[in-house]
Amino acid sequence: MVNAPQGDTTASTLAKPLTGSCFCSALEYEIRAPLVRAQSCHCSRCRKVFSGAGSAFGFLAEDSFRWVGETSALSRYASGNGWEIGFCGRCGSTLCGIHEGTVRGVTLGTIDGDPGVQLSQHIYVGSRAPWDHIGGDAPQFDEGPGD
Ligand SMILES: [Zn+2]
Ligand SMILES: [Zn+2]
């Protein structure tokens, strides 16, 4: 199966960058290009990682992310398959997914205002929490995304 290439380096830049931060604002970031897409995973692992019904995660265009100011509060947790979760060591907010040292996506909840994308799919809905009632029109998959 061949996926369309992600992280188009010619992606347009935003006139006004997206900004985001953790709960205590020790960590702040800026995103200079539109998010590529966003999704929510409802698996039991994501519920723990994101401390909620699941993930709400936006994938970044290549080279569009940068930390603003100090990053000494950034902690990382290896979550498998070369991915690390980036979170604030002071307040505990989960901020980003780091793959092989590069920030590849951010948690939508840490973005200030409108992230400019909607969730395009819900995955691992078959193992969602019993109290999780998913709204919206985005397609839902019992396991991973369809073809
Ligand atoms: Zn914080
Ligand atoms: Zn998951």
Cα separation, 40 vs 125, in Å, equals: 9
Class of the 29-127 domain? alpha beta
State the residue for tokens 């709204």: 135
pLDDT at 10: 53
Distance (angstroms) between ligand 1 centre and the Cα of 95 equals 9
CB atoms within 5 A of ion ligand 1 belong to 22, 24, 26, 88, 90-91
Task: Tell how far the Cα of 93 is from the centroid of ligand 1, in angstroms.
Answer: 6
Strand order in the sheet with 28-31: 18-21, 28-31, 65-68
Q: Is 31 left (phi over 0), alpha (psi -120 to 50) or beta?
A: beta
- Look up residue 39 and give its two tokens: 């999704």
The per-residue pLDDT for 11 is 61
Q: Which ligand is nearest to the CA of 40?
A: 2
Two structure tokens written together for 29: 């970031």
Q: Return d(Cα 64, Cα 72) in angstroms, integer.
A: 21
CB 89 within 8 A of CB 74: yes
- Per-residue pLDDT tens over the stretch 52-83: 999 999 999 999 999 999 999 999 999 988 99
Span from the CA of 49 to the centroid of ligand 1 (angstroms): 16
- Tens digit of each residue's pLDDT (9 = 90 or more) over 8-63: 455 689 999 999 999 999 999 999 999 999 999 999 999 999 999 999 999 999 99
pTM, two decimals, is: 0.87
DSSP at 127: G
